[in-house]
Chains A and B, each alone.
Chain A
Amino acid sequence: LIDGRRVQSCLTLALAAQDQQISTIEGLAKGDELHPMQQAFVDQDAFQRGYCTPGQIMSAVACVKEGHANSDEDIRENMSGNICRCAAYPNIVAAVKQAAPAVSSEQKG
C-alpha cells in the first residue's frame, strides 16, 4: 500500500515512491499480536501454499477500508486483482468478512 492505496509493487519504481508512506505485510502485526486480518486468514484457513497471502492480506485491509467489503459479491469483485493459484477463494472471502468489522473501525491509514 502506498499512502493507504493498494498498488502493484512490481509496476512501481522505488524511486517514484520516495516520501510516500509504504505499508507491507511486515508492518501489519503489532509485535507478537497479529493484525485482525492476519488472524482471520489463520482462523479461516484462507491459504494453502501461502505465496499470494501477503498480497491478499494487504489488499484485503485496503478493500475493507475502501468500504468494499459489504457482501460476498462485493469482496469477490474488489479482491479480484489478487490471484490465488491454490483457489482458496471461499476461505479468503470468509476471512475478509470475519476481519471487516475490526479493520473498518481502525484508524484509517
Chain B
Amino acid sequence: MRPFAYQRATDASAALAALAATAPSNEPLSEAAIQPLAGGTTLVDLMKLDVMRPSTVIDINPLASSWSTINSEGGNLRLGALARMSDVAANPEIQHNYPVVADALKLAASPQLRNMATLGGNVLQRSAMHLFSRRQLRQL
C-alpha cells in the first residue's frame, strides 16, 4: 500500500470542505486525492490493490454519533449514512416495521463485514463495476 496521511474528522462541514476541495471536476470522485474512510471494507481493500491511491484519508467514523441514527418517526424511514449494516439489520424497529430491509442486509456479505460496512459506503461503493477494480484494464 502507498503511504498516505491519516486524519480524523471532528466536524462534518470541515470534512466536507476538505473533500470538496480536491474533488476532480472531470473524473470520478474515487480519483480524488482525499478520500473519506467509513467502514473501510472497500477503500482499504482497493488501496491495498493499488486501485485507489489517495494521498490523504479522512476517517469520518468520529462523526458516527450524529450520522448513524435510525429514525422512522412520521412514517418515513431515515437511515444515517454511517449506520452499520449489522446495526440496522438488528434494530428492533427495522425488524418489526421494515423486515425486508433487515432481511436484505442479512443476505449481504458476512457478519464481520456487516459490522464494519456503513449504509452510505454501501450505496457509494463501485465494486459492482468489475473493471473498476482492475486499474490496468481501465487504462487500456
* A contacts, CB < 8 Å to B: 5-8, 10-13, 15-16, 59, 62-63, 66, 68, 78, 80-82
Contacts and interface: CB of A to CB of B under 8 A. Distances in A.
A78 B40 contact: no
Interface in B1-23: 6
A8 B6 contact: no
Contact of A12 (B40, B57, B111): B40
B35 to A, nearest CB: 12
A81 B41 CA distance: 14
A80 B86 CA distance: 14
Interface string B33-57: 0000100110011000000000001
Interface in B44-98: 44-45, 57, 59, 61, 86
B44 A5 contact: no
A70 B80 CA distance: 31
16 contacts: A5-B115, A7-B115, A7-B116, A8-B113, A11-B40, A11-B41, A11-B116, A12-B40, A12-B44, A13-B6, A59-B111, A62-B111, A63-B111, A80-B110, A81-B109, A81-B110
A82 B6 CA distance: 29
B41 A8 contact: yes
A64 B49 CA distance: 34
Contacts, number: 50
**Chain B: interface residue count, which band?**
10 to 19
Interface of B: 6, 37, 40-41, 44-45, 57, 59, 61, 86, 109-113, 115-116
A11 B121 CA distance: 14
B16 to A, nearest CB: 19
Contacts of A78: 111
Contact of B111 (A10, A13, A15, A80): A80
A13 B37 contact: yes
A16 B115 contact: no
- Cβ-closest 10 pairs across A and B: A81-B110, A81-B112, A5-B115, A11-B44, A8-B112, A6-B112, A15-B6, A7-B116, A11-B41, A81-B111
Contacts of A11: 40-41, 44-45, 113, 116
